[in-house]
Homo-oligomer: A and B are copies of this chain.
């Protein structure tokens, strides 16, 4: 029997969120993502009357979800009190867990997606071992939360691959070697708490849209570089999901020579030259040697390139060029306002920067080239925080119900 359960002190807040009207959901989302707002500003932003706003937020205030921003209100510009209100981030807590091959990383965050505690642990490669590992880390996170576990409102888990979030299914994950696994069902049964399953890049995109650089932008893309090259797209106010669950597969755009074969079996994919695995292989095959043996890790390939080894530099140049070309492709097709680059390889971004920007500028079409490319430092916990953001969004948008 699992010790993880929805917190007793989360109950009333969850009941209020679950019963909120569509307008009240909009209002809460606006206050949550944009920070302290006066009722007047909320009314303006949502097109509702101020009376309707007051009525909608009343149960949220009673449940502790919304509080006065400034307990001693000063006069507004015309002498009337402005009365800004804000979400109390401490009112709810969620868990977000990222499954990697051989490892799970978990965080607990507050309602503002701020990380409270984190943990990681090795797991076996089988599906059952992963289910067990996720359950164990959820229990550890709850223990680390102490009294705050009484606010626990939900659990999100993210994995790489083709995920059917609505039904909790992992349809296909090449990285984990899974096909058609009911991860949501297995975890919900193991933990006796509903578990939301989401694609990892989509989860990261939700985190940026609600709690990061994406707030207030009409559209943005997040590009992750590392052992895979991923892309989350946000267009017309929503994450692009794809009619068949596939979207943002920037790693498998055919943007390089057909002579490069990808791990997916296709030719010319971006990942075939720009994933960390492809970089290591290319440097080793071209004779790259570090400490007397062929380069075997990305750290060694990076060190060789930093030392100016022409073979290693050329491999990183090729990776930077194809990533920049891929970003131009995203810009020409969907026209994002901002492109965020993140992922574990961001720490070595200096090796990509010049060729990436040159390729982007060479191929971005007209005004599409005005999109800002923003580098974002990456922590491994970010993926887990994405899963937390996904379940927070699921709670607010009434797609995730904790009981």
Residues of A at under 8 Å CB distance from B?
Answer: 162, 171-172, 217-219, 231, 233, 235-238, 240-250, 252-255, 264, 266-268, 325, 328-337, 362-363, 365-368, 370-371
- Measured between alpha carbons, how far is A345 from B162 in the docked complex, in Å? 35
Contact status of A244 and B362, CB under 8 A, knowing A255-B255, A333-B330: no
Which of A248, A331, A365 lies at the interface centre, i.e. has the most chain B CB atoms within 10 A of its CB? Answer: A365
- Measured between alpha carbons, how far is A370 from B172 in the docked complex, in Å? 15
- Measured between alpha carbons, how far is A198 from B330 in the docked complex, in Å? 22
Flag if A245 contacts B332 (CB, 8 Å).
Answer: no
Flag if A267 contacts B362 (CB, 8 Å).
Answer: yes
Flag if A367 contacts B246 (CB, 8 Å).
Answer: yes
The copy count of this chain in the complex is 2
Q: Return chain B residues, CB-CB under 8 Å to A219.
A: 242-243
Q: Return chain B residues, CB-CB under 8 Å to A330.
A: 333
- Measured between alpha carbons, how far is A367 from B266 in the docked complex, in Å? 14
Flag if B363 contacts A266 (CB, 8 Å).
Answer: yes
Flag if A367 contacts B244 (CB, 8 Å).
Answer: yes
**A153 to nearest B CB, angstroms?**
26
Q: Return chain B residues, CB-CB under 8 Å to A332.
A: 246-247, 249-250, 252-253
Contact status of A254 and B325, CB under 8 A, knowing A246-B332, A333-B333: yes
A-B contact pairs, 21 of them (CB 8 A): A231-B333, A235-B235, A236-B238, A240-B333, A240-B334, A240-B335, A242-B336, A242-B368, A244-B370, A245-B367, A246-B331, A246-B366, A246-B368, A247-B334, A248-B333, A250-B332, A253-B363, A254-B325, A254-B328, A254-B363, A267-B362
**A208 to nearest B CB, angstroms?**
15
